[in-house]
Structure 1
Amino acid sequence: MIKIGVDVGGTFTDLILEKGNEPDSSNKEVFVHKVSSTPSDQSIGVLKGIKEICNKASVKPSEVDLIVHGTTVATNITLEHNGAEVGMITTKGFRDILHIGRHKRPHNFSLQFDVPWQSTPLVKRRNRISVSERVLPPTGKVEISLNEDEVREAAELLKSRGIKSIVICFLFAFLNDSHEKRAKEIILDVIPDAYVSTSSEVANVMREYERFSTTAMNAYVGPKVALYLKNLESKFSNEGISAKLRIMQSNGGVSTAEACSKEAVTILMSGLAGGIIGGRYSGGLSGVKNILTVDIGGTSADLSTIPNGEIKIMNPRDTYVGEYPVLTPMIDMMTLGAGGGSIAYIDEGGHFRVGPQSAGAEPGPVCYGNGGTQPTVTDAQVVLGRLDPDQFLGGDLKIDYDLAYKAIREKIADPLGINVIEAALGIIRIMNSNMALAIRANSVAKGYDPRDFSLMPFGGAGPLNGVALAKEICAKEVVVPPAPGITAAIGLLATDMRYEFTRSVPTVISTAEQSDFDRINNVIETLKEQCAHRLMSDGVEESKHEYSYIAECRYEGQGFELRAEISNGILNKDSLVEVEENFHKQHEQDYGWRFDEVGVQIVTIRVIGSAKSEPVQWPRLKEAETEQPNQAVMYSRDTIFDDGEKYDTPRYDRNKLLSGHKLQGPAIIMQHNSTTLIPKGYTAEVHSYGNIHISETLT
C-alpha cells in the first residue's frame, strides 16, 4: 500500500510517502519532501509535491492508494475575510444575535477597539431575514408553526441578490429541528444549487449566539472549501490519481472530502492539527509521553501541550477563529505570528519588534533574493552563521548572506545604533521570548509544569530555537523528531478517521430520575447511529468502529463545560457517580480546585465514532559502533550562538547519524528539511528511531 501525507503551510508544503506491504512493517520505506506553497491556489503546490515525491520514491502517482491532506484553505478565508456572501433565515426577533454577541469588549480599557463580529460580520444585516416560528424549551414543543410562505419569500429575496450560501438558525432548534429541516427543503426548492447550513446539522447544542456564529462560519467558508476540494479531486483525476482523499479535521481525526465540503467548519484548524498528532507520534518513538510541541514554520508557530500522550481538546469557551466563536471540537493549541518569515521592524514608538507580519512564501525572507526587503528571523539566522547559504534545503535553495546582512543593518542595526550581530541576536531573542510566553500560557496556566515535559521543536525553523526555548521555560530536555520539517505531514499518516455528533440535554445530576436516564440514553444511541452511518458511508466496516462517550458538564451556575467520560456509554445511577467524579478531576486539573459539595449539571452529550488506521512505520536506525559520529562530519564554520560568542562549529549530516551516536555542542546537525542547533554545554544523543535528545552536559 502506498500512502501520502501532504500538509500545506504558509511558506512550504510538506510531504511524506510510505510504501510497502501492509501486514509486514519490516519492508516499508519512507520518503519525505518539501516544496514551496502556492498561496494563490494551494492545489498547484500539492499536486507538484505529490508528483515529485512519487518520482523520488520510484512510484507512479496512479499507484498511490491514500492521500491525507492538511489544508489552511478554511483558516485563510476566515483571517482574510474573503468568504461567501451569506444569507440568513432566523426566528422573528432574533435577527441581530450575530451583531449583539455576548456584549464582550475585546479590549476592556480601550476607547478605540474594533468589534470584529460587528465591523466584519459573517452575515450582513440586510441579508438576515426573520420568519415566524417558535419552539419552546425544555421539551421542544412547537408554540408557533413555521410560516412556510415567509420562508419562501425570504429565499426568493436572497436569490434575487445572488446569494447562494444560506444559513438557517432557529431558536431552540437543538431541542426540535423540524422547522429547520422544512425551511431547508423550501430553500433548495427555490435555489436548487444553494449551499445550505442548518444549526441543527452544524452545531446541535445550546447557546444561540455561538450556535448561530458556528453555522454562519460554515456557510461563510463552505463554498470556497467545497470548490477547492472539488478542484483538487478533479486535478487528481486528470493526472490519473485514483487514491482515496482524506482531510485532516480540527479535532485531530480525518474525514472524507465530501463530508468536509458540507461541514467546512470542522477543518478550520486542519493545517495545524497534523503537527500536534505528529509530535505525539514522534515522542512515542522514544517512549516520551509528556511533550510540549512547538511547530515553527515560515509564517507562524503552533504550540500545544500533550500530557501523558493524550491530545487535549480545547474548552468550548476558547474555540475562536479570527475572533468568531466556533463550537466545533479543536485540538488545544495556540498560534502566534512567529516563524522563519516573521518580519523584524522598528515601530512608530521606536520599539524593536518581531512579527506577527510575515514575508510568507512570496517574496519570502530577504536572503531568498525574490524581492523581499524587510529583514526576517531567517535572515538573522543566516547572518549569525546558523544557516549556510550553500546548504539551505540541502542546497536546493540558494540564499544570499549579503542581502540578509544589508537588510538587518539598514532596517534594524543602524536605526538602533547597534551592530548587525547584536541586531540579529535581538531578532532571535524577541521571537523566543514571545514563544516562551505562549508556551507558559498553554502549559503553566492550564495546570502543567514544563519541568515535567520534553520540548519537541519541529517545522523548518523549530530545531534552531529548541534549546533556547527549553532553557527559557525550564523544560527537562529537547527532543528533535527524525524529520522535523515535515512532522506535521507525518501526523497526517498517524491519525484515525473520526466523527463527532452532539446534542444538548441539560440535566442536573443530583435530581436525575429514571426518565432523565432514558432520555439521555436515547440521545446517546441516536448519536452513535449517526457516527456509524457516517463511518459506513466512508467504507469502514462495522467491526472496526470504535466509540467514545462524553458528558460535557459544569457546576450549577457556571458558564461553560468540561468533558467527563461516560466509560460504558450508558448512563444510570452507578455510571452517573463516575461521570461526576471525572468532571471533578478535570475541573481540578484545569483550575486547581474542585467543589464536591456543589451540584453538577450535564449540558451536552457528545459521541465520537472513530476507525483506527495503521500509522506510518518509521524505520529504525542502525546501531553505531562507537559514540563518536566522525563519519557524519561535513565541515566546520564560524557560528554565533545566543551567548554572543563565535565558535568554530562542526556540521553533521543527519542522514549519517546512527543510533547511539553522541554529539557535544557547539554543533549543527543538517538535513534537507531542517537544521538543529546544539549550543556549547549541551549533549545530543541519537535514539533508535532517529529522535535526537538534547540536554545539558553533565559535569
Structure 2
Amino acid sequence: MARIGVDVGGTNTDIILETFSTDSVGAGTYRHKVPSTTQDQSIGVLQGVLEVCDKAGIKRSEVGTIVHGTTVATNISIEHNGAEVGMLTTRGFRDILHIGRHKRPHNFSLHFDVPWQSKPLIKRRHRIPITERVLPPSGEVEVALAEDEVRQAAKKFKDSGIKSVIVGFLFSFLNKSHELRAKEIILEEMPDAYVCCSCEVVDAMREYERFSTTAMNAYVGPKTSLYLNNLERQLKENGIDADLRIMQSNGGLATVDSCCEKPVNILMSGPAGGVIGGHFFAGLDDEKNIITVDIGGTSADISTLADGDIKIMNPRDSYVGGHPVMVPMIDLITIGAGGGSIAYVDEAGGFQVGPRSAGSMPGPACYNRGGEEPTVTDANILLGRLDADQMLGGDLKVDPQLSHDAIKTKIADPLGLSVTEAALGIIRIVNNNMALAIRSNSVAKGVDPREFMLMPFGGAGPVHGPALAAEVNAKGVIAPPAPGITSAAGLLTTNLQYEVTRSHLCELTSISNQDYETVQGLMHDLDGEAMQKLAKDGVEAADIKLTRFAECRYHGQGFELRAEIPDGELTRENVRQVVENFHRQHKTDYGYSYDDAEVELVTLRVVGESQSTKLAWKPLASAEGGGLEEAFMYERETTFDDGTTHMTPRYDRSKLLCGHKISGPALVMQHDSTSLVPPDWKALVSDHGNLMITKFS
C-alpha cells in the first residue's frame, strides 16, 4: 500500500507520496505542490492527494495511510473565530480565566494587550458558577455537586444558542467525579453539544492553565472536528479509503477521533512536521546539532535540536494566540517572515517587512494575480536569486517586471533608493528578523550556534540559508534533498503517540512510604491508559513503547522540569535516579543545580508510542570524481548581500551526485526550491543528497 504526507502551509500545500514494491508502480517517492485554499483547507488537500496519485500512476484504492499536518486549529486561535463557549466552574472562581496570573507581557509598557482579557475564549456572561467543592490533598468531597444548578445552566446555554461547553472545577485532578457527572447532565439537556471536562483535557494541577487549555479545546473543537470529519468523508467519496492520521504538536501522530476529542493537541500540527523532517534528513548524514528554519510563504518556524534530540517545550512556556495551553509541544518559534511577507513603508517612514503576508491569493506581485505590494519573493526575483522562468520547475508563471514595478513604487521611490538597493533592503530586513528569532531559540537558551548547522527548508529556505548562518555564526548550512516538501516528508517519519498525565505533589528526595505507594499506583494507571489509547487504534501490546517522565522542581520553585523515569518497575533506586536526572536537567537548562536541595514531584507523564515505518530515502550514486557538466544549466546575473553582482551558474540538483563540489557563486535549482551558494562559499553533495554549504576557510 502507498502512503501520503500532506502539509498545509499559508501559501502552498505540500504533498509527498511513497509507494512500495507491492504497488502497481513499484517502490518510489513522488512530490507535488498545490496552492493552499485558506477558505477551506480540505479543498487543496483533496486536490493535491488526487493529483499526486495521478502523477505516480497508482490507483486511489492503493493508498493505505494519509498523514496530515494542518493549521486549522492554529488559525482559529489566531483569527479569533472559534465557537461561542459556555463554562461551568466552582462557585467563587468564575473569574479565574480573566485574572490569570497577573503576568505583564511587557513590564515597562503602559499600553499593552492582555489577550486573556481583551479577547477572552469564554465571555464572562457565559461562565456560570456551580455549587460544589473538592478539597486537597485527598480529593475529599466537602460540598456535593448541585445537579439542579448544572441542569439550569445547560438550559440557559441551550437557549443562548451555545453548542460548546466546558466543565472546570477546582481540584478536579484529585477527584474528577463532579466534572464527569456535570458533563453527563449537560449532554442529557444538550445531546448535540461539544462538551469537555478539564480532567479529560489536561489532568494536572494549576487551575488557570487547566481551565485555559480546556477553554481553548472547546473554542477550536467544533470547527476542527468538522474539518477533519469532512476531509475524511471527502477522501472516501473519492475512492481513498485510507487511514487518516494527524500530526500533533508534540511530533507524534493521532487518529481523527482522538484529535476531534482533543484538538488542543494539534494547535502546532503544521510546524511540528518541519522539525521532524529536518531531524530525519540531518540524521541520514549523522548531523546531530542542527537549527531548523522552515521558511514558507507566510511564516518562518525555528527550532534547535541538540545531540539529535527534539526538545519538548516546558508547559509553562506554551502559549497559542496569547493564551496558555498546557499541552506538550515541540520547542519552536514562529514569526511572520516568508516568501510572501509584504514590504512596506510605515506611517513613521520606517522600512518594514512582514508579518503581513500576501499568501497564495493574490500572492507576490510577480504572480500577476492582482497583488500590488512587494514581497520577499519579488525581491529575490529582482536580484536574480530566483529565476522567473524556473519557479516550480516552470509550472508557476511569474512576471519579473511586476516585481520591479511594485518595489519601485512602494519602496524605492518613497525612500529615495534605487530599485536594487530597495530589494536588498527587503532581504536584509527579513533575514535580520529571522536571525533575531534564531538567537532567541538558541543563544537565549544557552545554546551556541557556532556548534550547529543551520537547516533551512520550505520553498524559500535555502535561498536565505547562508545569510542567516553568517548572521548567527552557525557552522554552515544543510539544504535537505527536497526543501519544499521537507515538512510533508517529516509526516512519514513520525510515530503514533499519546501522552497521559496525573498530578501528585510530594517530596522525592525523602519520599514517604505512603507517597511511594501512591506514585507506584499512578504510574501503573498511566501505563495502562497509554497502552489502552494505542490499543484502541489497533496497535499490538508488543509494538508499544512507553517513556515515563516526572515533572519536578526544587522545593519553593514555581514551575517544574522534566526528568526521565527509568524503564521497568518503579523502585526506590529509580526514584533516586529521577532526582539525579532532575538535577542534570536543571543544570542543562539554567547552568546550575542544587544537588543537596529537596526535589519535589508535581506531575507524572507517560508517553506511549508505536514505531512507524520510516520514509525510505535512497543514497545517491557516487560522482566518482566526475565534474558538473551534466548538471550545468546556464548562467545569469545575480546580486548578493554585499551588493556585488556576478555572472552566476545554475545547476540542476536532480543531476548532482554524491561527492560533487560546487564553488560559489552558484544557484542550485530544483522544482520545489532554489539553494544559494554565495561567493566565498562552497557546497558539497552528501551521501543522501543533503547540500552541505560552508564558507571557504
In structure 1, the residue corresponding to 2:576 is in which secondary structure? helix
- Whether the aligned pair in 2 keeps the contact of 1:627 and 1:662 (CA below 8 Å) is no
In the TM superposition, residue 27 of structure 1 has moved relative to its aligned partner by 6.5
After superposition, where does 1:62-461 map in structure 2 within 5 Å?
A: 62-461=61-460
CA distance in 2, matches of 1:584, 1:341: 45
State the AA in 1 paired with 2:240. I
- Whether the aligned pair in 1 keeps the contact of 2:291 and 2:452 (CA below 8 Å) is yes
CA distance in 2, matches of 1:348, 1:151: 52
- Whether the aligned pair in 2 keeps the contact of 1:548 and 1:569 (CA below 8 Å) is no
State the AA in 1 paired with 2:58. V
1:529 matched to 2:558: no
CA distance in 1, matches of 2:360, 2:560: 40
In the TM superposition, residue 179 of structure 1 has moved relative to its aligned partner by 0.4
- Whether the aligned pair in 1 keeps the contact of 2:170 and 2:207 (CA below 8 Å) is yes
1:107-129 superposed Cα distances (whole Å, 9 cap, x missing partner): 22222222211111100111100
1:505 matched to 2:485: no
CA distance in 1, matches of 2:419, 2:557: 53
- Whether the aligned pair in 2 keeps the contact of 1:313 and 1:330 (CA below 8 Å) is yes
1:484-519 superposed Cα distances (whole Å, 9 cap, x missing partner): 000000100000000000011111123311211110
Q: Percent identity?
A: 61
After superposition, where does 1:445-594 map in structure 2 within 5 Å?
A: 445-594=444-593
State the AA in 1 paired with 2:277. G
In the TM superposition, residue 627 of structure 1 has moved relative to its aligned partner by 4.4
Q: Judging changes above 3 Å, is the alpha-carbon distance between structure 1 residues 92 and 439 closer, same or farther for their aligned structure 2 residues?
A: same
In the TM superposition, residue 279 of structure 1 has moved relative to its aligned partner by 0.3
**Residue 17 of structure 1 corresponds to which residue in structure 2?**
17
- Whether the aligned pair in 2 keeps the contact of 1:517 and 1:571 (CA below 8 Å) is no
CA distance in 2, matches of 1:293, 1:233: 31
CA distance in 1, matches of 2:583, 2:27: 45
In the TM superposition, residue 350 of structure 1 has moved relative to its aligned partner by 1.3
In the TM superposition, residue 470 of structure 1 has moved relative to its aligned partner by 0.7
In structure 2, the residue corresponding to 1:554 is in which secondary structure? strand
Q: TM-score, with normalisation over the residues of structure 1? A: 0.98
CA distance in 1, matches of 2:32, 2:192: 39
CA distance in 2, matches of 1:386, 1:639: 6
- Whether the aligned pair in 1 keeps the contact of 2:509 and 2:576 (CA below 8 Å) is no
- Whether the aligned pair in 1 keeps the contact of 2:311 and 2:330 (CA below 8 Å) is yes
- Whether the aligned pair in 1 keeps the contact of 2:466 and 2:677 (CA below 8 Å) is yes
1:592-648 superposed Cα distances (whole Å, 9 cap, x missing partner): 111112211110000010000011001221111334211111111001011111111
State the AA in 2 paired with 1:16. I
1:641 matched to 2:640: yes
**Residue 28 of structure 1 corresponds to which residue in structure 2?**
27
In structure 2, the residue corresponding to 1:247 is in which secondary structure? strand
State the AA in 1 paired with 2:394. G
CA distance in 1, matches of 2:121, 2:149: 23
CA distance in 2, matches of 1:68, 1:627: 39
State the AA in 2 paired with 1:523. L
CA distance in 2, matches of 1:677, 1:426: 18
1:550-588 superposed Cα distances (whole Å, 9 cap, x missing partner): 000111111111100001254332112211111111111
| Range that drifts further, 70-79 or 413-422 | 413-422
State the AA in 2 paired with 1:60. K
In structure 1, the residue corresponding to 2:607 is in which secondary structure? strand
State the AA in 1 paired with 2:431. N
**Residue 3 of structure 1 corresponds to which residue in structure 2?**
3
CA distance in 2, matches of 1:386, 1:61: 38
Q: TM-score, with normalisation over the residues of structure 2? A: 0.99
CA distance in 2, matches of 1:628, 1:579: 55
In structure 2, the residue corresponding to 1:414 is in which secondary structure? helix
- Whether the aligned pair in 2 keeps the contact of 1:85 and 1:165 (CA below 8 Å) is yes
CA distance in 1, matches of 2:468, 2:427: 11
1:46-88 superposed Cα distances (whole Å, 9 cap, x missing partner): 0110111111111122210000000000000000000001000
1:355-388 superposed Cα distances (whole Å, 9 cap, x missing partner): 1111111111111111111111001000101111
- Whether the aligned pair in 1 keeps the contact of 2:543 and 2:611 (CA below 8 Å) is yes
State the AA in 2 paired with 1:185. E
CA distance in 2, matches of 1:85, 1:627: 65
CA distance in 2, matches of 1:367, 1:468: 24
- Whether the aligned pair in 2 keeps the contact of 1:29 and 1:619 (CA below 8 Å) is no
**Residue 666 of structure 1 corresponds to which residue in structure 2?**
665
In structure 1, the residue corresponding to 2:609 is in which secondary structure? strand
- Whether the aligned pair in 2 keeps the contact of 1:316 and 1:560 (CA below 8 Å) is no
1:336-355 superposed Cα distances (whole Å, 9 cap, x missing partner): 00100111111122111111
CA distance in 2, matches of 1:691, 1:509: 46
CA distance in 1, matches of 2:625, 2:33: 32
- Whether the aligned pair in 1 keeps the contact of 2:133 and 2:142 (CA below 8 Å) is yes
In structure 2, the residue corresponding to 1:391 is in which secondary structure? helix
CA distance in 2, matches of 1:317, 1:675: 38
CA distance in 2, matches of 1:396, 1:555: 58
- Whether the aligned pair in 2 keeps the contact of 1:28 and 1:617 (CA below 8 Å) is no
**Residue 619 of structure 1 corresponds to which residue in structure 2?**
618
State the AA in 2 paired with 1:264. P
In structure 1, the residue corresponding to 2:530 is in which secondary structure? helix
1:426-481 superposed Cα distances (whole Å, 9 cap, x missing partner): 11111111111111111111121111111100000000010111111111121110
In the TM superposition, residue 695 of structure 1 has moved relative to its aligned partner by 0.9
State the AA in 1 paired with 2:8. V
**Residue 51 of structure 2 corresponds to which residue in structure 1?**
52
In structure 1, the residue corresponding to 2:174 is in which secondary structure? coil
Aligned residues: 696
| Range that drifts further, 291-300 or 612-621 | 612-621
CA distance in 1, matches of 2:200, 2:21: 40
CA distance in 2, matches of 1:445, 1:521: 37
CA distance in 1, matches of 2:343, 2:210: 39
CA distance in 2, matches of 1:479, 1:300: 20
**Structure 2 unaligned residues grouped into runs of 5+:** none
In the TM superposition, residue 146 of structure 1 has moved relative to its aligned partner by 0.4
In structure 2, the residue corresponding to 1:511 is in which secondary structure? coil
